[in-house]
Amino acid sequence: MNDLTFAARPGHVTALLGAAGSGKTTALRLMLSLEEGRGVTYFRGRLLHRIAHPAREVGALLGDVPGHPSRTALGQLRMLCAAAGVPASRADELLDVVGMSELAHHRLGSLSLGMDRRLGIASALLADPHTLLLDEPAAGLSPRDTAWLYGLLRAHAAHGGTVLCTTADAKEAAQGADRVVTLDEGRLVADQAAADFARTRLRPRVVVRTPQAARLGVLVSKEARVARRSVEVVPEGGNRLLVYGSTCAEIGDTAFRHGVLLHQLADETGDMGTRPAPVPHPSAAAPQPSAPAPSVSAPGAHPSSPKHASAPTAPHAPTPGSPHAPTPTPSPAPPGAALSRPAPPLPLRGPLRPLRYELIRTFGIRRTLLAVVAALCVSAVLAVFLTHTGAAPLPAALAGWPGILPLPPAALGAGLLGALAFGDEFRYPALATSRGTSPRRLGLLLAKLTVSAGLALSLAAGAAVVDFVLLRVLYGGELVAVPAGLLARGASWAALCVGCAWAGLLGAGVFRVTAAGLAAVLAVPVAVVPAVQHLLAGPAARSMVGVPDRLRELMLLRLPGGADQWLLAALRLIAQPMGVALALSVPVLLCAYLLTGLRRKARW
């Protein structure tokens, strides 16, 4: 971006026009603080990072709908409802508005381009935002879908909203928008009303309809070559010609001389057609009062330089308090005209209802159930094998844990589910792309820790129960009895599964990929446990015997008689090599996760 300054007014659809590489998408990303640069963007007089709930002020669609291809359209919108803090019923309303009620339970991966784009518009409208920022919303759509899309955008603008969309098609911009802002290599070329743009910037042409279209096209081209005139004839359809560089009189004379029958002969400036009819607005609220026009200002911006863009969505009226006053054609802003220092970016925000969001995200696809079932089946098979061959004692057989495996199947399954909890945030961003990648809010982290712990406990209990029942049925109660110290063993088993789930979750959150979460889970038994065993088995100058007694002496309050036994059991559990490894690994990963989030904010 370079000296880019313009305003998108409420109640209007503004098109940001330019060829590929002209800076349209970069401008939108700079407005949303998704790229570094200098400049400022106002949204109804406020900077985006100062808006408490940005999704309720700005709805954006940059590219396709971000979501797991196995998730249903309704499930995706309900998950985004939890992220935006709106009722789940809003998802059903928006599906009806965009004409996808019958496709509510279709998977995202099976949707056509037109339906995918409709779902994207629905996700941008979920929180009923004032401003819509859309990047090439009509790219690849049929004329019918394009007309529907601009009709919906016009309805949003008619209710007082602001719409800014990018396009590379000049005819589409002239037909669908109220104002056209033209960019070229990051610079503002023109800022015009759509009618003025069509009159001054679209190529004039002559439209001809004739049953002898091919013959007339050849005749017109031949006469133009003889007269050394630059004339372009473009066949369109079976009997229609578009002729550039000529006039109705010249073409009419040619047709008369050669006896060609004409059904239509008219001058035309661009393919304006008819404006799309507005469709019902997605909000049932009354029309909003007009608000100050959004404005953008980007002094000397460049995509690779510090934050350089400001865009339409903030008050930029000629005088304060007069939002309806005409806005002069923007001119390049002098250095420092927008802000004396770069504006802080939009912080990554988490869902407003994190627990509901995480539950919908986790159980919205079949993969969670498949992972649980697979872990239970593998655990049961290994339990039968170990008991049949006598290769492991009963507790290890009940866990399905042969010595050759670093972890039992249930713990590996819990680690996989934990890794997917954050891995999917980066692979298929659950929040709209305009909100950044994975949110770093404490509420979302706590929700993910809670849900992953619940899944891990369920998986641990399920594996133990399934294996025990299966072995009792196959080998009888005499051979497979309830092991001694059931409470302590059960606590150890549950802690192992929960620790693996949390290690996978935090590992994926730190390194932003699911595989890293799985690597963090496997690193505990493969690398951390041997290190702990070596440390504990090595020579020591002093002994740690009597630690439980000394801990009791440090406590201010006397514990009840039974509590001492619980304390000793917990210490024995932690004192195991695997317990020590998890007790070290999980806090380290948690600190790394928090530090990476803080470092990201500091860098901005």
pLDDT at 332: 36
> Rounded to an integer, what distance in angstroms lies between the CA atom of residue 13 and that of residue 8?
8
Please give the mean pLDDT across all residues of the chain.
Answer: 79
pLDDT at 595: 81
> What six digits make up the tokens of 100?
């996808």
Q: Is the pLDDT of residue 320 over 50?
A: no
pLDDT top residue among 585 and 199: 585
Least reliable range by pLDDT among 23-27, 30-34, 175-179, 337-341: 337-341
Cβ–Cβ < 8 Å for 74, 92: yes
pLDDT top residue among 223 and 435: 223
Q: Is the pLDDT of residue 179 over 50?
A: yes
pLDDT top residue among 292 and 334: 292
DSSP element (H, E) containing 452: helix 442-479
pLDDT top residue among 222 and 276: 222
> Rounded to an integer, what distance in angstroms lies between the CA atom of residue 425 and that of residue 437?
7
**Do 1-57+129-202+275-320 and 203-269 show the same overall fold?**
no
- Domain 203-269: assigned CATH number: 3.30.70.100
pLDDT at 432: 46
Question: Rounded mean pLDDT of 247-254?
Answer: 92
Domain at 1-57+129-202+275-320, CATH from 3.40.50.20, 3.40.50.800, 3.40.50.300, 3.50.50.60: 3.40.50.300
Instruction: Tell me the β-bridge partners of 328.
Output: none
Least reliable range by pLDDT among 124-138, 175-189, 546-560: 546-560
Find which of 176-190, 196-210, 299-313 is predicted with most confidence, using mean pLDDT: 176-190
- Write out pLDDT tens, residues 341-380: 333 333 345 677 889 999 999 999 999 999 999 999 999 9
pLDDT at 305: 35
State the pLDDT confidence band at 273, using cuts at 50, 70 and 90: very low
Q: How far is CA 348 from CA 84, 185, 313, 432, in A?
A: 13, 29, 20, 11
Please report, for the chain, the start and end positions of each structural domain, with discontinuous segments joined by +: 1-57+129-202+275-320, 203-269, 354-603
The DSSP secondary structure of 171-237, one letter per residue, reads HHHHHH-SEEEEEETTEEEEEEEHHHHHHHHSPEEEEEE-TTHHHHHHHHHHHHHHTT---EEEEET
Q: Of all residues in the chain, what percent carry a pLDDT higher than 90?
A: 43
The three state secondary structure string of 218-246 is HHHHHHHHHCCCCCEEEEECCCEEEEECC
pLDDT at 284: 42
- Write out pLDDT tens, residues 530-584: 877 676 666 665 655 565 566 556 555 555 555 555 555 555 555 566 767 777 7
pLDDT at 578: 74
State the pLDDT confidence band at 193, using cuts at 50, 70 and 90: very high
- Write out pLDDT tens, residues 163-173: 999 999 988 99
Residue among 334, 300, 296, 312 at smallest CA distance from 1: 300
pLDDT at 335: 30
pLDDT top residue among 569 and 474: 474
Cβ–Cβ < 8 Å for 264, 285: no
